[in-house]
Structure 1
Amino acid sequence: MGNSPAQRPSGAAAASEFAIELIKINKSFGPVHANKDIDLAIRRGSVHGIVGENGAGKSTLMSILYGFYTADSGEIRVDGTTHAITDSRHALALGIGMVHQHFMLVDNFSILENVVLGVEDNALLGPSLTRARKELVRLAKEYRLDVDPDAIIEDVSVGTQQRVEILKALYRGADVLILDEPTGVLTPSEADDLFRVLKELRDQGKTIILITHKLREIMAITDYVSVMRQGEMVATLKTSETDPGAIAELMVGRRVLLEVDKGPATPGEVFLSVENLVVKDDLGITRVKDVSFTVRSGEIVGIAGVAGNGQSELLESVSGMRDQSSGVVSLKGKPLSLEGDDGAHRAREAGLAHVPEDRQRMGLVTAFEEWENAILGYQDDPAYGKGWILDIDAARAKARERIAQFDIRPANERLKTANFSGGNQQKIVLAREMSSNPDVLIVGQPTRGVDIGAIEFIHNQIIKMRDAGKAILLVSVELDEIRSLADRILVMFDGHIVGEADPATATEGELGLMMAGISEKTAPAPKAAEGKTK
């Protein structure tokens, strides 16, 4: 078996009150100075949050600690002793484990096989699995991480998969656990369960480092929080002595409005109607199952749900990017013809704009310059020329206008889009689609990977479009975002819309039950569960 937790001193037996000390850490990638003289001390037996905007350097810093990168200069101390961590195996040997945002599990292996994978005793797997089973049962009991060792990964919930990742790290002897955006794929109840587990680990002497952009989670679970900005460490605070507004201001260097400022909606006529929609994925599996709903002018309808419950296929179908098996999508009372390779083009011509969930795969050509992406899909607009002749000067001038309007950085329309940060790539897509003056705007994950300051801006732009009489369909895995922006909430589970809620009155618990498919509102007959507004 690999390293055991019992093999390494912890708690009172350790040499230092700090589990981890990072001293004057520097790391550059070409001209980009990602970490600048970073000092950070993580107290043993604490939950320590690290926050910062995109590009602040927090992921680079944790990658240095876990051995993915080597610092250009500086010192790493583990339990008070200096170490030059060369790779992730070295980090694990020192008791540092990491739970990645995207799980590193083999879907068709059992939980036990995933836990032991890579740290088997020898070529005879049987004895390794027998010993591992005993250790897994012990760890699960000690830390209240109940799992069935024989369950297959693809058959268990996302929350259980995350438990397996934690157990993998504990099995390998981790005393320090780094978690990268751990609640991004969890329901609210699963997130609450994760917080319970983290508190249990902390109370048992483990040290938790939590990378998250969700300030609510920082306040709920951490003992300390460190704030990074532009590669520098600007503050480390006791969480109990600060608040979300103060943390946000430290992150961006100015005051940030954390609450969405919006008045009541004034819905008008139905602009978007979806009736009995059925959609399959690339493998022929039905992901959207007889879904019906409407979106009116002047309102935002949010679709909540854990990722993978049909939201992506729904958006792709309604926007013309994926063929539907059956059903009707209508825009202002007229059925849309969305089949075929040019379905998205016909949807745009009818007045529907789409901000896709995956900006790099579906929203941008990253090898193109910014101005080229700024007109992508709209290059036939008369504003950019006639027929086959493209007015490049006009297109670049329009791109500069949008760069200024949407605060896209750097302000260079000739820069390759691959060289913009993820948040600024998102702004490029939003600027293009919002500026097309659509009747219906479909937005998937509007602030995924976006800095907290830019989130405020994007939310305000979405509200402005609603107030201008546009119909907006919004999908986000961020429940707080759905509750803040939406005028009505539809909840998807297993391809069905299982309920509708008023964001002003629905509690997180009620929405979470629906998202988990265990709400009493869930009905077996799709007709009764379609959440259709008449």
Structure 2
Amino acid sequence: MNDTYLVELKNIIKRFPGVIANDNVDFNVKKGEIHALLGENGSGKSTLMSVLSGLYRPDEGEILINGTRTVFKSPRQAINAGIGMVHQHFKLIDSFSVAENVILGDERIPKMLNMKEIEKNLAQLTLRYGLHINPASMVWQLSVGEKQRVEIVKMLYRGSQVLILDEPTAVLTPQETDELFRNLKEMAKSGRGIVVITHKLHEVEQIADRVTVLRKGKSLATLERERINRQDLARLMVGQDITTQCKRNTPPGAGKVLELNNVSCLNDLGLSGLKDITFEVHSGEIFGIAGVAGNGQRELAEVIYGLRKVSSGSILVNGTDIRGFTPRQLIDCGVALVPEDRLGTGLIPNLGTIDNLILKDYRKHDMNRGPFINWHKANKKVSSLVGSYEVKVSSLEAPVKLLSGGNLQRLLLAREISAEPQLLIAVYPVRGLDIKATEAIHELLMAQREKGTAILLISEDLDEICKLSDRIGVLSNGSIAGIISSDQADINEIGLLMMGETGAEAI
């Protein structure tokens, strides 16, 4: 028995029909360490951690908790054993409040609830870890990023001894990320074990005591702190170096495709969502919007695409005021949207690839045969798009909900880009994707930029914003805190702007 290990996974094998998700994987977490877990989509990271957290039972292998062989029959048993996991796909109930979701299933909570006291305690906890969220808010009102924060708070609230975090910094500013890392290190010093699943290699360098790399269900290597190197890790994961800056062959054009002038709107609570937003996006330009989730990103995308009413101000697309336009009218104006919720808003989960890819084309004459869809032409076009965008599908008729995140995003971009838009709104286009899929999506966006498309890129990942954008607008509390050129961008300055500081001049 090794008493330095909080958790040991030995020779874990987990099979699904036609797939071996984990193939004799060994993994352990020491007391007082932060252990990073890296790998592409489908490499088995989430499956391995789901085995550890009691969601799956391994087909072979064993789990040791504090040196004692353990069999988890449910997530509750894992939680009682001190294992807490923030899953990539959230385990929240939309009709409950944040506080109700956090305490759900917690046996320590008395039967007679004092919700005001619970909300007060949660507010203090969120403030301590820089995870700003209103405990009284209903989950259905939250953005995807805010829901992720609720999951993080849930595990922190329960005081897990082994805390598994899947992409925990995706919704944080650099300053908040540093604060979270300091708190994770303090947790580790107290004897906890922390597992961080992340695609951000610089974070691994910054925080990890050890890192394990998975590929195709197998463990390639476990490296100690002194052997952690960004380029080596990238090569282990995807077999190639990763670019840190995109090459721009042409400068942005002079023509203004999108203009927002003093635009304001309300959020779902009837409060101010956007306040006097003013900026423009030129042809052949990527204009990045940086900011912490919940500061108006969703409202900004929806108000431009006709999904939310403008309270005041004007929105122009190629000189035409589009206030009051429906999404269908905006499609005809050459506006395309890649929403943050791939399956909830962008695609129809239970329909196949063909149905999803012709959602914008079925009204066009060349896709019709009288009042009916010309399925032969539809099949031909979809097959061409699937091949061109390298979307891996088992069948064109199979429900798209069965696809991986990377393939879902390729499918969504294939539909939007094939419409040859003049303005493309991309909201968190690579959230949850591995490095290789991220690179592919970035290449697609840059190719559209070179063709002269105006792109509004909304992202919480500052590395992505700085890599792709020509200019960066920082959104804070529904207002533009500053607009700066990407070649003059400083991560810390952007972080301060995201927190509400001012000082950057609009350019």
Normalised by the shorter chain, which TM-score bucket?
0.7 to 0.9
Q: Aligned AA for 1:514?
A: L
- Aligned-partner Cα distance in 1 for 2:390–2:301: 27
- Aligned-partner Cα distance in 2 for 1:214–1:312: 24
The answer for the alignment partner of 2:60 in structure 1 is 73
- Aligned-partner Cα distance in 2 for 1:108–1:397: 47
Which residue of 445, 450, 458 maps to 2:428?
Answer: 445
Which residue of 42, 49, 65 maps to 1:62?
Answer: 49
Give the conservation status (yes or no) of the 8 Å contact 2:288–2:456.
Answer: yes
1:74-473 equivalent positions in 2, closer than 5 A? 74-99=61-86, 107=97, 109=99, 118-120=106-108, 146=128, 153-154=135-136, 164-165=153-154, 167-170=156-159, 174-252=160-238, 254-263=239-248, 265-339=251-325, 343-385=326-368, 388-410=371-393, 412-473=395-456
- Aligned-partner Cα distance in 2 for 1:430–1:167: 36
Identity of aligned residues (%): 37
Q: State the SS of the aligned residue for 1:71.
A: coil
Structure 1 position 108, deviation (Å): 6.9
Q: Aligned AA for 2:423?
A: V
- Aligned-partner Cα distance in 2 for 1:436–1:417: 20
Q: Aligned AA for 1:153?
A: P
The answer for the alignment partner of 2:484 in structure 1 is 501
Give the conservation status (yes or no) of the 8 Å contact 1:218–1:239.
Answer: no
Q: State the SS of the aligned residue for 2:401.
A: helix
TM-score under structure 2 length normalisation: 0.87
Q: Deviations over 1:12-37 (max 9, x none)?
A: xx952322111121222333332222
1:16-55 equivalent positions in 2, closer than 5 A? 16-55=3-42
Structure 1 position 49, deviation (Å): 0.6
The answer for the alignment partner of 1:11 in structure 2 is none
Give the conservation status (yes or no) of the 8 Å contact 2:52–2:63.
Answer: yes
Structure 1 position 61, deviation (Å): 1.2
Q: State the SS of the aligned residue for 2:363.
A: coil
Change (3 A) 1:273 1:349: same
- Aligned-partner Cα distance in 1 for 2:439–2:361: 27
- How many residue pairs get matched? 489
Q: Deviations over 1:175-202 (max 9, x none)?
A: 3222222112222111100111111222
- Aligned-partner Cα distance in 2 for 1:115–1:383: 55
Give the conservation status (yes or no) of the 8 Å contact 2:35–2:210.
Answer: yes
The answer for the alignment partner of 1:3 in structure 2 is none
- Aligned-partner Cα distance in 1 for 2:259–2:110: 60
Give the conservation status (yes or no) of the 8 Å contact 1:147–1:160.
Answer: no
CA RMSD in angstroms comes to 3.3
Q: Aligned AA for 2:216?
A: Q
- Segments of structure 1 that go 5 or more residues without pairing to the other structure are 1-13, 523-528
Give the conservation status (yes or no) of the 8 Å contact 1:260–1:460.
Answer: no
Change (3 A) 1:368 1:89: closer
- Aligned-partner Cα distance in 1 for 2:428–2:56: 30
Tell me which structure has the larger Cα radius of gyration.
Answer: 1
- Segments of structure 2 that go 5 or more residues without pairing to the other structure are 138-144
TM-score under structure 1 length normalisation: 0.83
- Aligned-partner Cα distance in 2 for 1:408–1:87: 35
Q: State the SS of the aligned residue for 2:360.
A: coil
- Aligned-partner Cα distance in 1 for 2:149–2:376: 54
Which residue of 481, 497, 503 maps to 1:521?
Answer: 503
Q: Aligned AA for 1:483?
A: C
Give the conservation status (yes or no) of the 8 Å contact 1:417–1:425.
Answer: yes
Structure 1 position 450, deviation (Å): 2.2
Change (3 A) 1:402 1:24: same
Q: Aligned AA for 2:198?
A: T
Q: State the SS of the aligned residue for 1:266.
A: coil
Give the conservation status (yes or no) of the 8 Å contact 1:304–1:477.
Answer: yes
Q: State the SS of the aligned residue for 2:49.
A: helix
